[in-house]
Structure formats: C-alpha cells, structure tokens
Amino acid sequence: MSKIVLEHIDKFYGDSHVLRDINLTIEDGEFMTLLGPSGCGKTTTLRVISGLEKPQNGKMFINDDVVIDADNAFYEEPAKRGLNLVFQSYALWPHMTVFENVAFGLKIKKASKDEVEEKVMKSLKTMRIDQYRDRYPNELSGGQQQRVAIARAIASSPKLLLLDEPLSNLDARLRIDMRAELKRLHKETGTTIVYVTHDQVEALTMSTRIALFKEGEIAQIDTPLGIYTNPIDLTAADFIGNPRINFINAKGRYNGDTLTVTSPFGVYEFKHETLKLDEEIPENVEFDCVMGLRPELVDISLEDPGKKHTIEANVYASQPAGSETIVNLTVGEADFLALQIGLVEYDINQKVFVTLHPSRMNVYNKETGRLIKFAKVKHHAGEE
C-alpha cells in the first residue's frame, strides 16, 4: 500500500520560488504523471517525494506516515521511504552484466543468493530481457538498457516507483514500445508509479491521472480524457493536443442562464449546466471569449450534408501524412485545422463543407484565460 499526500509544499532555491503551495494526493496503485514544460516544477516535486530535495514548507505522508514535516525540520531519509527512482540516464555499471546490475541493490540489502536469483529473474522476465542476463550494458541498445534500469528498480518490489523522463533519450519507435511496457508493468505489479514528463503523448497514453504543472503550481489534476477534453485554461489547452487545438475569437453574453457565443462560425447557445459557474462570467454585458475546438471534431464534406452546424469553408492547405491528413481551413477571417484519418488530398482554395460539434467545444474567458464552458466527453463512437 502506497498512498502519497503532499500538503502545502513550498520549495525555494535562493529567491526563486520553484514550488508554490503544492497539494497533491496520489492514490495507492495509481499511475500519476507530472506533466508540463521545462522549468515548471515537476522534477522538483518528484525529488521532494523521493527525499532528494527538502522543501521549506509543507508536509508529506506515505500511508498516513509522516515523511516530511517542514515546520519541525523532519525529513525521512530516502532509503526509508520504500521507493525506487529511475532517472533519465540509465546509470548502469558498465563492468557488470545485466544480472549483476539488477542484483546490486538486493545484494546491498544482504538478500540470500536464492532470493537474489528469484527476484532478479522475475524482474528481467517482467521487462522481457531475461535472455540478456549475461550481457554487458555496451552490448545492449538504448531501449534494452532502459529496461535494465527499470528492472533494477522493480527487483526489490518497491512500494513506489518514481520515473524522471526515462524515455526522453530513446528514438520515437522505442518510446512507443517502452510506453507499452510501462503500462503493462503497472497493470501486472500494481505498484504506485509517479512519472515525470514534458511529453503529452506519454502522459495521455499511460496515466490514470495527470497533474499539469504551470510555473511552479499545479494548474489542473484530472484523468487523461478529462484533461484533454476540458483543459482548465488557454495555456493548458494550447499545451495539450497534437495537432494544436483551434482557438477562435468570439463574443459572449451571459444572461444568468444561457451563454450566447457569437463567432465566425455562427451563433451558439450553451445552457447553464455546461457552464463552469465557479468562474466569474459577466452578466448581461458583452465580453471577449475564445472558442476551443479540437481538429478531430471538424468533419469535412465535399457536398453540403444538410446537418445542423454545417458551414462553408475554403481549403488553405492540405498536409497528407499517410495515416492522417491535416487540413488548414478558413471561414472569413478565421483560420483553423481539421484532422482526418487516412490519406486525403484537397486542392488549395477548394470549397468544402465543415460540420462542427458545439457540445464538444470549450469556451474560455479571454481576459482571464479560464474555462467557462465545458465540452461534453465523447464516450462512444458516433455519440454526439
């Protein structure tokens, strides 16, 4: 059992306030990803959890046991926290075989020879590298070396596994393979995993929940589907998603029950049940807002399908990429992207018809940047 609770964590480097009132609960068995751009505080948070950094304020608990109490200058030693850490670099001993590298920590703990053999081979088989047990690191590929590093971390059956951008040194194909291995590892072992990355694809594909960091603060905590569908502000929306989300400038007016948005795409009305009413929305006065629309939610037709919310658009450019095609479109002065699966070609300036899905649009207050209208989560194919 390994539940982690961070309460009001502050970390300073000199005058630089790098972690600002971090509050985060990581449930037992969860795959929590700390996501954000470089310098946002995610790695520092991981180092606080591991014990490699001491915060100036706050508390941390593992299974209700206090491991950090900054007010009383209490910091549990990293070795007593029941966790293992995998760094971006593999940190393998070059003069040791794969077996010896993985066994190193167990031997330090004076495990018996039979126990070492059993646990090392179990972890090597889990990572599917048991056939390389007698090889040296320089005889392995980068992906194989990373598997050895992870096998070493899980050999001692830690309550917590902390991973700091472990896939960033691998090429694109190996990253895909290793994402699958890590997801499988989490499912098979049930270990609580805290994973740091700046790669949104890693976060969206592997996590049970994501903590999105912004300038030393946690901007949003949600499931991958929740954080992708309803980013909390314009910065988060711009960061999550590839290709990028479409931002369309519009005007909003809220009468206390309905938000009316006037845009280049037309006029849309959103009822109060879809609005984020804890954000301040001006009443009975026009204000600037931004519509957020994912490219995959723009349907293109060559002929008018006669559907509601279909408008005429022009093709600015078409970018076929084999498995998908990105289409740049314009409606009046507004430009936006559509994503189509498969290889599709359009002519420049070709007239097309696009059907939009208002229920799955976000609306943001342009002044504050905050989300004021939720997008509906699409659970099933064909659902509107």
Only one residue has tokens 């569908």, namely: 229
**What's the pLDDT tens digit per position in 296-345?**
999 999 999 999 999 999 999 999 988 899 999 999 989 999 999 998 88
**What's the pLDDT tens digit per position in 219-273?**
999 999 999 999 999 999 999 998 999 999 999 999 989 999 999 999 999 998 8
Note whether 217 and 361 are same-domain residues: no
**What's the pLDDT tens digit per position in 31-56?**
999 999 989 999 999 999 999 999 99
Query: What domain range is 250 assigned to?
Result: 236-373
Report if residue 342 sits inside a domain: yes
Which pair of structure tokens corresponds to residue 254?
């809220």
Note whether 120 and 164 are same-domain residues: yes
- CA dihedral angle for residue 101, residue 103, residue 108, residue 110, rounded to 10 degrees: -160
Residue 379 confidence (pLDDT): 52
Note whether 184 and 281 are same-domain residues: no
The residue from 235, 251, 280 where one domain ends is 235
Note whether 165 and 247 are same-domain residues: no
Q: How, if at all, do strands 192-197 and 31-35 pair?
A: parallel
Dist CA 209 CA 157 (whole Å): 23
Which pair of structure tokens corresponds to residue 280?
């301040």
Note whether 105 and 150 are same-domain residues: yes
Which pair of structure tokens corresponds to residue 336?
């936006």
Dist CA 186 CA 206 (whole Å): 9
Cα-based distances in Å from 50 to 55, 81, 99, 311: 12, 8, 25, 53
Q: How many domains, the chain?
A: 2
Note whether 302 and 215 are same-domain residues: no
Residue 378 confidence (pLDDT): 62
- CA dihedral angle for residue 277, residue 281, residue 286, residue 287, rounded to 10 degrees: -120
Report if residue 210 sits inside a domain: yes
Residue 362: half-sphere exposure toward Cβ, Cα within 13 Å = 27
pLDDT surpassing 50 at residue 199: yes
**Which among 181, 279, 191, 161 has a CA at the least distance from the CA of 230?**
279
Percent of the chain with pLDDT over 90: 70
**What's the pLDDT tens digit per position in 274-294?**
998 888 888 999 999 999 999
> What is the CATH classification number for the domain harbouring 181?
3.40.50.300
Note whether 219 and 275 are same-domain residues: no
Which pair of structure tokens corresponds to residue 306?
């006669």
Report if residue 310 sits inside a domain: yes
Note whether 168 and 269 are same-domain residues: no
Dist CA 52 CA 68 (whole Å): 12
Report if residue 378 sits inside a domain: no
* pTM of this structure: 0.89
Note whether 48 and 191 are same-domain residues: yes
Note whether 51 and 195 are same-domain residues: yes
Report if residue 276 sits inside a domain: yes
Task: Quote the mean pLDDT of the chain.
Answer: 91
